[in-house]
Structure 1
Amino acid sequence: MNRLRRIIQEVKRRFDGLSIQIKLIGAYIVIILVPIIIISNYLFTNFYENTVQDIIERSQSSMQNEKREVMNKIETMERSAQLVVSDDQLLQYASSDTEPSALEVMNFESTSFDYIQRLLFNNPEIANIYFFVANPNISEIWPIIYREERIKDKPAYQLAMKQNESVLIEILNNETEILNSNPSEVKRVKSYVSIIRKVYYPGNHYLGMIEVDMHIEDVFGMLYSDNLNEDSQVFILDKRGNIHRNSAKPWIGVETEQIGAVIAQHQGEEGSSFVISDQGFDYLYVRESIDKLDAEMVHVISLQSTYAQIDQTRNQVVLVVAGLLILLAIITFFMQSMILKKLHILQDSMKRVGSGNFNVSIDVRGGDEIGELAHHFRQMLNKINELIVDAVKRSAATKEAELQSLRNQIDAHFLYNTLENLKMLSEVEGQYTISDALTSLGSIMRYNLKWTDDRVQLRDEISHIRHYIAIMNIRHDQKLKLQLDIPDRYLNQEFLKMSLQPIVENALKHGVYSALMKEEGLLIRLGAQVSEGTFVIEVQDNGIGMTEDQLQALNGKLAMNDEEFHSTVGKEETSKRKRGGIGLRNVNQRIHMYYGDDYGIAVDSQRESFTKVTVKLPFYGTSGKEDQNEENSDCG
């Protein structure tokens, strides 16, 4: 079992290693060859059976015709025997108690004897008519009247005397003529079909036997016919197992010693034909019963020539099919070469991409499956190149933030120690406002200079904003207020570092105006919520706001790519933007690079009323995976 499994696995491995072109050609050949083999086997089997059946039918028809001829010949012999027995003068002559006188003999010869001779000569197929008389008073008259002693030793005579029937029909082999007209001639030996009839007259007085002979070749013309080819022969098998045939033709089929047993073995089968194999050769036996002779007429046909013709036809078909398959394989090869040419081009392109070359031109077009595959592969390459560009941009933005931090970093430890000394000095002098400001400044510096990751928790970013507002309140005389409407469950939300400060910084830079600062001051509100799997944080101020044109221009700049932005805004404004900090556009780009284009920031504003910046990010729980339960609970 394991060996078979290994063989199957090896065959499968070798098959998988073949090219698709070889597999397709093999599949076409198998698809065509298997039905051809099945159909050919079915057709040739039927052809063989039909051919043998035709031979059987022709043989049966010939043998039935032959049987009718034989029966006609036997009837002729029976009528002749009946005519002889019906001659009263002959019977009276044969039953005479005394030896007939010369005159009686002459009268008999001129009447009954002459009648029997005419009967014999008028039926040329009848070879002999004999009357074997048991009366010793009757003299022999050649060639008809003979004494019974001549045949008493013959088996046919003895069989006729034993049976109850008065008529016996027999095939007599190698019979010698009873008496030649010329005594010097050698007696000839012949075979006959004979009717032997016992004669009783008057009443039950036995007179002798009438024998009517017909040469066997005249009765069974098919046995001695020259129309039979060398592959067939006909013989007669009588009730005693004797075979009668034309000895001039060679014997075919089962040996003569076994033929009786073979015929007897198939005697009870339906039908009159059967096939016997002998020494590797098949022979068809077709038999026909001749009831009156109690014999079988058997036609033996060798099937070797028939098989040879069928094999020749089959070989021709095989050659034609093989030629067609070779032609089909060649045509299929060239057609598939044209069809798979695009696939080979696509394969080479994929290999170049696999080696690291992503700037591959795939010159495959079309609406078929290969063309569609090439189209999707081109789209995949474009997407890969876009992702590479995005990764490069993301890395550049990170480096830019790090460089910006490095520009501001002189000596972190020196600054921390200096600020700590100033804070302690302020507390000693009782200047607690300055001490708190120095504490906030130190926290801001630590937050900016300690850049280990681009992502922080929202609580860290809010703490940074608190310190920033605390410092800026020194400048604005505590007129800045920070309102937090953020549930505690959102404080662990992932957030990009330094993303809120540019928004709050813009609120202070562009939202503050004198009338506002003289009254209630600038209020900055930070709110957070979850909507449909998106974490939304809003930064809204009550500053001066923007006109509709200014708002559209700002949102348009946020939506531009780098090329459009630089060509539209110009180098001067870009330089100012760099000097002013990371800016809203930098924050929007960072969000796009990290989370995709579905997220980012949007600005809404109304002149002399408010400005609101909305930041959209994917919502994550503390485990770092999307938290649908939080979303549902918040929305509910």
Structure 2
Amino acid sequence: MKAPLTKIKRIYRNSRISRKLFLAFSLMIAIPAIAVSFLFIRFKETQLYEEAMAAGSSHVSRLDERLRGRMNMVENASSTALIQKAFIDFIHSNMRADGLRLVKFRQNQFEQMHNMIKSNESIDELSFYVDNPDLYEIWPEIYHYDRFWPQDYWVSLREEGGSAYRLFALKDGEHTLSYYRLVRLQGQQNKHPSIMEIRIGHGKFFSDLLEETGGDFFSVVMDGKDPSRFVYNPEHSFAANAGEDLQNILARIHGQLDMLQEKSPIKVEAGDHTYYAIYRYIAPLNAYVVDVASHQALMEGPRSWYVWVVAITLCVLLMMLLLVSHTTRRIFRRLNRVLASMRKVRQGQLDAKIDTGLGENEAGDEIDEVAVSYNNMLDEIKRLMTQVVDKQLIAKNAQLHSLHSQINSHFLYNALESIRMLAEVQRQPAIADALVSLGSLLRYSMKWRSDTVALGEELANIQSYVRFINFMEGSSFELTADLPQDVLRYAIPKMCMQPIVENAVHHAAPRGGSVRIEIAVRVENDSLLLVEIRDDGAGVDPQALADLQAVLQGDSDTPIVASKNGLGLENVHKRLQLHYGKSCGLGIDSVQGSYTCVTIRLPWENENLGGW
């Protein structure tokens, strides 16, 4: 707890005076006003929630009453159909025995039943399924029982008292509600009882429910057993806003519905939103009528109040900021001149002195005293900087003089060329080739036309070095580098590969031994060029390898001394990271007695490469 307080005190101490005054005014005025406003909005949210729940409960009750009234109408229609005893008797008799009797049935009993169905707007279809082998299926209202599915449904219907509703019809009931009723139990064995089915489309039966009311609640009729089956208006704004999450929302609500103890409202979480549901259980339908509302939609009004409070508060704070800024600017105008001069000095303008406006014998106040002392300090800094620059110029001139006094490089090249020709005349090709390699090494190391060279030039210099070492030490080092032509033209920093090959030569094998050195390149993530230099020598001691990797990864502050382990790579690594960033540099991997592999990471974009 002490550390955060100390940090806050430090931030406050380093803040400008105008900010401190602004913070004081905010604590005294703005914050209390915001707190009171938010408390008032929370009170309004609670009040709005209670009113919405009461309205939703009333709406669900009205829907429950309407649905039960429509079910009564359906049941009355079925009773009216069943009292047509002549019709019922005929469809259970031998309809094929007498054609004249069939015609009279069509003109009388059937016509009466058909007109009754057409005149009743509460139903769409009325069908009878009769287990009668002598039945004629010549009208859409009369079917043989074989067409009914499932065949044994009459058992369940009998157990339910002879009649039952299905929110989704047994056959093709995706958008249809059905009412089933036993008509007559047959006396003969192996015969099914007759069943009457009344079908009503969901759009007609739930017409009031499915209307777009524009309110906050979304009405749904849910199947009591199957949480995936429900009836709702897909054009309602709630369904459109929920989109693919609607199924998940309704499934979560269905999991909390209780037919024995109605707990309204219930609350569910789906995604980042909260939803409330008020419901009633309709026993004949074995379904629930549910009103669902989104917490976000219910609190849309109070949420807009939050925006208004925040906007007004920001305006007040802005006005306070302007007032404080204007006041402090007038009070600390001269101090601001001191601060402005300091900022210019930080940018390198050492001549940014403060104009005090004082006369020769005027002392001024405390701020003027600070300004005068500050001007004197700038004069002293400029004098000391001039002195340092003069010393550097003297040292640089001494270095140039020393360079001019050294042996002329052309003289050295000519001397080597003369010795090489003498070796060839005396038939000493090994000595001649060694002198060629030595000359190439000296010319490459002393000639710096640019800070970068083509990878092919660096490779040629390394090949000359290996040939010269083989001659001098009688070794048989083998260098292989099968690189693409376009990579050989790639610009790399000069002398970045030479120290790595030297390490392999001096430390990979005992004197006079044989080591194979392979150079390969690859591109990683289209951003880095990786140059891998691998030898099959003795490898690196595990402890020395761990120390070196720690230095290359920045995990250790202790530098590795090249004279102790012969791995002078840290200098190359730091120079690469200094110019190309932390993503570039060297990496090393080795197994003692097997191999050592050093990887150079360079930026793949050639134009990003610079020199040392």
TM range (shorter): 0.3 to 0.5
Normalised TM-score (structure 2)? 0.44
